[in-house]
Amino acid sequence: MGITFKLYAGLSQYLPPTAHRNAATLELQAEETVEQFIDRQKVPRAEVHLVLVNGRHLEGPERERHILKEGDTLAIWPPVAGG
Partner 1 sequence: MSWTGKILRVDLGAGTCTSEPLNMQWANDYMGQRGLATKYLVEETDPKVDPFSPDNKMIFATGPLTGTIAPTSGRWSVVCKGPLTGAIACSNSGGFFGAELKNAGWDMVIFEGKSASPVYLDITNDKAELKDASDLWGKSVWETETELRERRGDPDVRVASIGLAGENGVLYAAVVNDMDRAAGRSGVGAVMGSKHLKAVVVRGTVGVKVKDPMAMMKTSNAAKEILAENAVTGQGLPTHGTQVLMNVINEVGALPTRNGHDVQFDGAHDISAEAMAEVRESDGQANLVSNHACFGCPISCARRSKIDPTHFTVKDKPKYQIVSGGLEYEAAWALGAANGVNDLDALTYANFVCNEQGLDPISLGATIGAAMDLYKVGAISKEDTGGHALEFGNTEAFVAMVEATARGEGFGKEIGQGSRRLCEKYGHPEFSMTVKSQEFPAYDPRGIQGMGLTYATSNRGACHLRSYTVASEVLGIPEKTDPLVTEGKAGLVKAFQDATAAVDSSGTCVFTTFALSGEDIAPMVDAACEGDWSVERFVEVGERIWNMERQYNIAAGFTGADDTLPERMLKDAAKTGPAEGKVNGLSEMLPEYYQLRGWDDSGVPSAETLARLGL
Q: How far is the CB of 32 from partner 1 (least distance, A)?
A: 21
Question: How many residues touch partner 1 (CB under 8 A)?
Answer: 24
Q: Does 8 bind partner 1 (CB under 8 A)?
A: yes
Tell me the C-alpha to C-alpha distance, in Å, between residue 11 and each of 14, 23, 63, 67, 69.
6, 11, 18, 22, 23
| Position 17 contacts partner 1 (CB under 8 A) | no
State the CB neighbour count (10 A cutoff) for residue 76. Answer: 24
- Residue closer to partner 1 by CB (options 28, 77) is 77
Of 78, 68, 82, the closest CA to residue 5 belongs to 68
The reply to whether 12 sits near partner 1 by the rule CB under 8 A is: yes
Q: Does 9 bind partner 1 (CB under 8 A)?
A: yes
Question: Can you count the helices (H) and strands (E) in the chain?
Answer: 2, 5
Is residue 22 a contact residue for partner 1 (CB under 8 A)? yes
